[in-house]
Amino acid sequence: MSILTGSIQLRKDREVNWIANNPVLLNGEVAISTDSKYVQINQSRFKIGNGADTWADLDYQPIDTQLTALVVNGAGKNLLKTDYEVVKVTSAQGQRLQINLAQANNDPNSADTLGIVAEDISNNQSGYIMLYGSIKNINTTGSLQGETWNDGDLLYLSATNAGRITNIKPTAPNHSVALGYVEYAHQNNGKIFVKIQNGYELGELHDVYVPNPIDNDAVVWSSGNSRYENKQLLGYNISFGATNTNPVDATTYFIGGHIGTTLQTLAVNTLRLYFPKSGRVKGIVMHFIGTAGTSEQSTISFRLNDTTDTTIVSNADFSSIQTIISNYNLSINVNAGDFAHIKWVTPTWVTNPTGLRVYGQIYIE
């Protein structure tokens, strides 16, 4: 038996020359770019011809910018590369993932979005989808979707058509699943770079706990549980006031919910302002209307449960016929069933205000 000896010489050249000449490589022909190196390993990159595509249209081998998956088509129809539909995981079959069309209209249809069809896959047969990398030679003008696409457009999973792609970002409650970018907008030779980024619902974040959200809930930090939680923060108002009255010097008055009564010097039960549910007092506003006095200043406070006073203002001046007093920077915790009064400590006036009518509101959230 004779043994043949010899050498095989592969085509090789510098990258600039390959680009300038841009030849069509024969089917199976290997050509090396001597100065284009693979990342980290510092070896020359090469391409393998198919007898049709030019140097510029061929990928370097191995394709180091692509990640594919062999899956089973469970969509109930043939999937075509020319449609490049988006698929999600539904189950497993024959030791491979089974896929169906994804859609951004709800969480079950979008949460398991996996990739984009990269070749023709007959129904119930196996084929490849693109998880990361370029899909080439498809129509990326947007005409298939009734849209206009341009180079660099960010693409999303459609909320209205299963498996379809759009360059219009879906809005809540639809899901925002980013699919990749238009590398080249062209009717026949278009390219999409696939990079699936599945959006998340708020309750899926690791430090958020919102098991049963209802209308008007807000998400607030709970230091006790070290997480964000949903909480009802719908605000409400409680009104208070007093009828015509003539305040005297250096006296403490209490104002409550019986608007038709005069100022009282005792925090009597009939004046109590009760809180129907727990919350936080955020603001108080009061209007005083009557005959003006001189400008000596009063202190007005919020008195909770007949025990705790919080100053609303300490410089109330009744030298005009209408005085408006407000404080919107309060933060007073109240529980359902708590009660309060408005406490007014008068000064010693040179001239007292007379015929005052008082009305106001407490804002709780």
Give the residue with greater pLDDT, 232 vs 142.
142
CATH number of 236-364: 2.60.120.1400, 3.90.550.10, 3.30.200.20, 3.40.50.10190? 2.60.120.1400
Share of the chain above pLDDT 90, in %: 70
How confident is the model over 327-357, as pLDDT tens digits? Answer: 999 999 999 999 999 999 999 999 999 999 9
Reported pTM: 0.56
DSSP letter assigned to residue 13: E
Task: Please report which confidence band the pLDDT of residue 38 belongs to, taking 50, 70 and 90 as the band edges.
Answer: low
Give the sign of the dihedral formed by CA 114, CA 116, CA 122, CA 123: positive
Contact 11, 23 (CB under 8 A): no
The secondary structure element, H or E, covering residue 16 is helix 15-21
Q: What is the pLDDT of residue 2?
A: 63
- Per-chain mean pLDDT for the chain: 90
* Domain boundaries of the chain, sorted by first residue: 11-61, 67-198, 202-232, 236-364
Report domain 67-198's class. mainly beta
Name the residue among 294, 297, 296, 295 with its Cα closest to residue 311: 297
- Mean pLDDT value of segment 308-317: 95
pLDDT of residue 64: 57
Query: Rounded to 5, what percent of the chain is helix, strand, coil?
Result: 5, 50, 45
146-169 per-position pLDDT tens digit:
999 999 999 999 999 999 999 999
Residue 22 binned pLDDT confidence (cut-offs 50, 70, 90): very high
Chain segment 51-101, per-residue pLDDT in tens: 999 998 888 887 556 788 999 999 999 999 999 999 999 999 999 999 999
